[in-house]
Amino acid sequence: MTTPIKPSIPGPVTSPIERGLGTPLAPEKSESTFGDLLSRALGDVVRVQEQKADIIAAFLRGEAVELHQVMAAAEEASLSLELLVETRNKLTEAYRTMMNIQA
């Protein structure tokens, strides 16, 4: 027997605009550089890795953490690290390509 999945938010699903949250993807007006973007991305990866470690530690201590939460946190941390490594590889490849261009 299967149980239907119920939404975690009661009531009808509404868009961000209907809920009064403004535009869904409003661009920020800031003067961020490419270096700032990379620093922010690295900080996000570190934050996700720390959250994973905290959830695993809580699970091992016997706190109220479900196994699926541990697995989801581990997978998210793994994917974010993999994305960071692949981004680094692509940037390195682009740099090497630019250095090999004949002027």
What is the domain partition of the chain in residue ranges? Answer: 34-100
What is the per-residue pLDDT across 61-89, written as a single tens digit (0 to 9) for each? Answer: 999 999 999 999 999 999 999 999 999 99
Q: Are 41 and 80 in contact (CB under 8 A)?
A: no
Half-sphere CA count of 97, side-chain side, radius 13 A: 6
Half-sphere CA count of 13, side-chain side, radius 13 A: 3
For residue 57, give the H/E element and its range.
helix 34-60
The residue-averaged pLDDT of 9-30 equals 51
Instruction: Give the C-alpha separation, 29 to 32, whole Å.
Output: 9
pTM: 0.62
Written as six digits, the tokens of 20 are 């009064």
User: What's residue 31's pLDDT?
Assistant: 77
